[in-house]
Structure 1
Amino acid sequence: MSAIIKFFQKKKLDIKFKKVGAGHRLNEKTDRSSAAPSSGGGRASYQSGPNRKEPTHESQRAGEAALIRFSQKNETTDPKVTMKAQMKREMEAERRALENVQKTQASASGLQEVVQESAPVAASRILFKCPELGSVVLPHNEMEEYIREYLLNQLADEPEMTSALMIHTFNKDKVKVKACVETISKYLDNIIANPEEEKYRKIRHSNKAFHERVSPLEGTEEFIQAVGFQYKTISVDSVDEIFWVMEEEVAKDTERLKGLKEVLLLAEPIRPQLDRAVQVFSPSSAATKFDIPDEFYCVSKEELMKEQQRRQEAVEKFGMLRTKAMRERDEIKELRKYRYALIRVRMPDGILLQGTFKAFEKLAAIFEFVRENLTESWMPFNLVTQTGQRLPEDSNLAEFGLAPAAVVNLEWDKEVLKDIATQQGELCQKQALKPELVALITTLK
């Protein structure tokens, strides 16, 4: 309706201007008495000076009221204009917020240099270890294959324990593993309670529960054989069927079966653990310069930049107003951009201790990493960002803005330092890091 009213108002205004006649320049000298020609016998739009009368009191009040209505009308903004202004304000606020975040991250962790400057390769690739199997360090896929080969090689010597570990390690779906373990445990419970009952010592291979929960998983056949079941073909109603069968003598050893059940229930999967790739650097002005491998990102750096550009263009082109829920989803996406984080911890003497972490590890992992590399591991300390913010141990690295790289400072607990000074007469000046680490110190260029 407002658009229609404006249309007719404009038409009416055009008609008035046509009746007034031709226009004049502001600096043109004209005779006011002849400045109001009529058109088509129409009345002049204003009278000459001598005939003008002073407005009455009622006219003045009516004029004031009209001015008030006009000013109020001008203050009323078109909804489209309001939306556009709001959109512009939101975009500007987001731009400023993004700039602030980038500045904070740049000052706290040198992320600006990550993109703009090259530096010595601090972490060429992500490596994994498995302390249970020795000191071997390999890329993730190779380490998983190494674990598989290790278990298969151990199967002949320790079939019961090894096959239980195979079930938990080779199958990644925890829900399916749980269902499998519960089903096998139920079979063993029935045999333990009724060792002489033949029906409990036989498992039909085509049984629905066995076929769906046990048979598809790796390691189950090896465990069933280790328990004492044998693969047999039995004729049932003149039809040959496959069964897993346990002999009565084997079933009577209930203590052994109880032990095997416990082994199956308590076994833990053997998983590759991220190797911290510990490095130590002498004090350097290049501490905040990182060269981050592509493995640190869920997508490539180029794709990240393109995605950011697409989002900006979409906002500018379509004027999309983002709700709180949309912004929260974008924040979650932002966090999921990184797989790993490279953390450098600056000691009070300036030496840098570097380690690699998963982006969603708790910050407590950094504290543990530092503590196990200190000469005095009992000494309480705080980890502080470049902007002076303390790291809370219960948050994760990505949420706290430490991915993909950051530098944090170690600060000793002041009260403890004060007590040491009181007892020893001076502050402890020992090397913070273990000597074997300091021996490996290198220089950042």
Structure 2
Amino acid sequence: MEKSKELIYGLNDRPPLRETLFAAVQHLLAIFVAIITPPLIISSALKFDLETTGFLVSMSLFVSGLATFVQCRRFGPVGAGLLCIQGTSFSFISPIIGAGMLGMVGGKLNTEMALSYILGACLVASVVEMVVSRLLPYIRKIVTPLVSGIVVSLIGMCLIKAGINSCGGGQVAMELGQFGSMQNLGLALLVLVSIIVFNRSGNRFLRMSSIVLGLLIGCVAAYFLDMIDFGRLEGAGALNIPLPFKYGLRFDLGSIIALGLIYLVTAVEAFGDITANSLISGEPVEGPVFMKRAQGGILADGFNSFLAAIFNSFPNSIFAQNNGMIQLTGVASRYVGYFIAGALVLLGLFPVVGQLFSLIPDSVLGGATLLMFGTVAAAGIRIIAATEISRKAVLVMAVSFATGLSVELVPGILDQMPELVKSIFASGITTGGLTAILANAFIRIKE
């Protein structure tokens, strides 16, 4: 397919070093906060210490670098061979926190046990996405855009609870009796408004860096309020050595099933992202070349999440926002991805990077994540709106949102259920997602 007229450099072009670095930095600005935010949210919810949180952030950066390289370089059938950037996925946060709660021993969370359950479930469930890549034409008939839109909306809606908890100050503020204080809510509001202001700017660099700048403003304000103590960084080591299976592996069937459903939906999302990336890059969006690329990209999505679990990180997925960056820069060269991958790996090797971001107060992070999660929910609504809203679609949405949000709003409804049932359906994303798939398959409307 001919190179798009809007592109400056096509997929296999090699831009000069200066332009390559310039494009790579812009991609990094667009993804950096999104990569480190899931481990920060999970660590806050499970009350991990600074050292563990910093290590998880570092490994998220390290694995995202490896995953991006696999996608861009393509190894045999693994990888899309496009400028596809991968990073830690928001979609898995809720079931991951649920899996981590299995580490409770005598009313206190055992960090190593919690992470072993999380990583064990992530490792096994990632096989679902790898299998889906081989069965792509058939899976797309089951997980339709309507189902994908419902699940994506539920992911955003269910995560808003975590976002608003962070805005109030998180677990630390609850224990100190300061949850929802004017100071915490004021910081969250400052960050949220700052991001919106920068995002509305006509300057593409300000818009691209809106989340980074919003967090920076919030951190400066928090520092002057004595909410950030840089003295806690004194114990940071010189280098993070990635250690496979550092926390071990434990397996819980309910957690594996819950995460497996998210992998199924993530595979369908990845297909959409690869289609958009191919289109923007001036590559085919149908035919055998495209299907090979899509299957390779989804296979890599699952493989990279498998790799993430080995290196003590959380599931990865293709980042859609980088497709917009290709449009903005006019650079679709996959060789840019090598520089992005290298930068992420290097950042992940230095403990001070992870620990520095671990110092961000919950209320500052909450202001950014609340907006991010709202955006995820809105993205799901856009997917739904692009489909035909028939009587059947209304029924599928109604029953899916009702069941999914019910277990989030009233978790006690499952207290009388067996432990396996509770572990599977405790997440509104899982409950609503399974309902959407079954309702879409079995509801028939007589005209």
TM-score range (shorter-chain normalised) is: under 0.3
Higher helix share: 2
Relative contact order (C-alpha < 8 Å, sep 6+): which is higher? 2
Structure showing greater Rg: 1
TM-score, normalised to structure 1's length?
0.20
Higher strand share: 1
TM-score, normalised to structure 2's length?
0.20
